[in-house]
A and B are shown apart, each in its own frame.
Chain A
């Protein structure tokens, strides 16, 4: 009797566990925000939207360090992957150029929000002047960031946002709908309008990936209605897991899968490797966000035709300039643009986000020009 009960329970649990891929219906970006798909034609992403009132947080009683040296810590989602090595380099370059900024990158070795919170907490205690972050979870990171703000520490995010009131500014690499448009258009160009695709992402609740997928679904429904979204799988920014998940998708759907999206800079090369190992190069398209260096072998082997990204070095560079502007009082609530050194003037969108620019597509023609 007990054995029977246990086996039924186990069977039920496994059935539920099998369901852990999200189905196409009702993906709400796991954060309940509305989507705003761009126009279907090739028009450039829109100019800055109508000004939204500033909705960021405020550092309480921050010491006045205008033009004085400040010490920053950068806490990305995790350390040790090419993408965040690049943003870290951008931050170091920006700090060196400004001259009066000391910046250090430190973070967890796995993309875990709990570890990231502990890192930030320790740096609050050790008394830095500013914190730069890329969040693993927008809501979970908010309490510790608000604590930083309440202690007079400036907080600027990049790459992955937190809730707006937990940081002063957020440097967005590209508009979410712009990335969605670039990804879906690239896929449609490569495998056609009737294709079915799968998505390999980090976790379903990582802020930026979740928003991109939500926008991709909205844009796909609007402009590529015949493309079928088969499944999204989680791979936690882990190389081996991404490869395994991609291979599982290839085996599960066989001929029915024509394209794979990689939503993180770890998932895309891993998916390309999975496609290469399964001898499906040219038959299954791999489109995704990745650093050029990781994708050079696959692009040269014609396995991957195009890689969508922005320049993460510029992202880190912009973040450190925004932080300096905030400390110097040159960037205040209500401003519409900020001066970011060699990047020129960056626009403020969505109240407290600073836009880096339109997404950039790397392909065989230009990928060798970049080294990160």
Chain B
């Protein structure tokens, strides 16, 4: 770590050089730039709609931040979303659960799936990337097997309120995302749980020898990942009014991209919820703004890729400056 100076100017400079600040500045520049090119981009209607659409990835990106801070990764989140969606539909339609119970059951399945990930990673000590690649296939296969390719439709109207309704003009799921961001942010910043996450990511052995509950914290992080996947699945099914076994495919990459864009180091030990949120918003608004400006789908993907690479370069150069 760099030598600590007490000069106020030096610490102000350090704030400006933080990854999150640079990213936030880039986001504001991008917003205004895209708004200039297209007059429908900066409307309240459009922005709220984008908020609605980014909730599913956002809910997953929050625990993903925790997981990556500990130096691990979870690529099975997309498959967990698919599994929870199928379980929701299947338990309601085929097992006859009342719909609220089916929702709770699917959340429980999501948490159990995350717990399974965590147990394999902490007890059997299989590296996170290998475990979650394996469970990715496992959960997706389970989803296909349980659903037997049937999709479940015909939910009652109140069920769609979460995915398609508004509360005081704000999309319902966006409110849930905002609450989740606040909770996760406070937990990471202000609790010992959050500090343990950073400690594990910086140096797991030292954390263990400092009598920190390393295994318990990692287990909780992965379980949270599963639980939030379940909530994301609930929002998704409510938004598209059907369940399909291929739901959630590719979500893991979108969530990881948002988290890495936000400045979380893939080696663990640093990162913030606010960074992940800015990363999430940046990707969503870039995709939306470019599409509204008339850029076609394939070009948009290239731009997102370039932005991601640029962000990782900036993050690593800032990290080198700090050291």
Whether A associates with B in a native complex is yes
State how many angstroms separate the Cβ of A264 from the closest Cβ of chain B: 15
| A20 close to B291 (CB less than 8 A) | no
B242 interface residue (CB < 8 Å to A):
yes
In the complex, which residue of chain B has the Cβ closest to the Cβ of A15? B145
CB-contact partner of B240 in A9, A10, A30, A117, under 8 A: A117
Cα A140 to Cα B301 with chains together (Å): 23
A370 interface residue (CB < 8 Å to B):
no
Fill in one digit per residue for A178-214: 1 if any B CB lies within 8 Å of its CB, else 0: 0000000000000000000000000111000000000
| A113 close to B142 (CB less than 8 A) | no
Fill in one digit per residue for B96-128: 1 if any A CB lies within 8 Å of its CB, else 0: 000000000000000000001001100110000
In the complex, which residue of chain B has the Cβ closest to the Cβ of A22? B149
B241 interface residue (CB < 8 Å to A):
yes
Contact residues of A between 50 and 87, Cβ < 8 Å to B: 79
Residues of A within 8 A of B164 (CB): 143
A122 interface residue (CB < 8 Å to B):
yes
| B301 close to A17 (CB less than 8 A) | no
| B244 close to A14 (CB less than 8 A) | no
B153 interface residue (CB < 8 Å to A):
yes
CB-contact partner of A10 in B138, B144, B247, under 8 A: B138
Fill in one digit per residue for A103-136: 1 if any B CB lies within 8 Å of its CB, else 0: 0001111001110011101110111000000000
| A139 close to B296 (CB less than 8 A) | no
| B123 close to A112 (CB less than 8 A) | no
Residue of B45, B141, B288, B294 with most partner-chain A CB within 10 A: B141
Residues of B within 8 A of A46 (CB): none
Residues of B within 8 A of A2 (CB): 119, 123-124
B24 interface residue (CB < 8 Å to A):
no
Q: Contacts A16-B141, A17-B144, A112-B249: A204 and B241 contacting too (C-beta < 8 A)?
A: no
Q: Contacts A112-B246, A112-B249, A113-B240: A126 and B138 contacting too (C-beta < 8 A)?
A: no
Residues of A within 8 A of B249 (CB): 112
Chosen A-B contacts, 12 in total, with CB atoms closer than 8 Å, are A6-B119, A10-B138, A16-B145, A17-B137, A20-B141, A106-B297, A112-B250, A119-B297, A125-B292, A140-B241, A203-B149, A236-B246
| B149 close to A204 (CB less than 8 A) | yes
Q: Contacts A22-B148, A30-B151, A127-B40: A140 and B242 contacting too (C-beta < 8 A)?
A: yes
Q: Contacts A13-B141, A16-B141, A137-B244: A126 and B292 contacting too (C-beta < 8 A)?
A: yes
| B120 close to A6 (CB less than 8 A) | yes
State how many angstroms separate the Cβ of B136 from the closest Cβ of chain A: 12
| A118 close to B53 (CB less than 8 A) | yes
Q: Contacts A16-B141, A137-B151: A126 and B240 contacting too (C-beta < 8 A)?
A: no
| A139 close to B141 (CB less than 8 A) | no
Residue of A13, A122, A236 with most partner-chain B CB within 10 A: A122
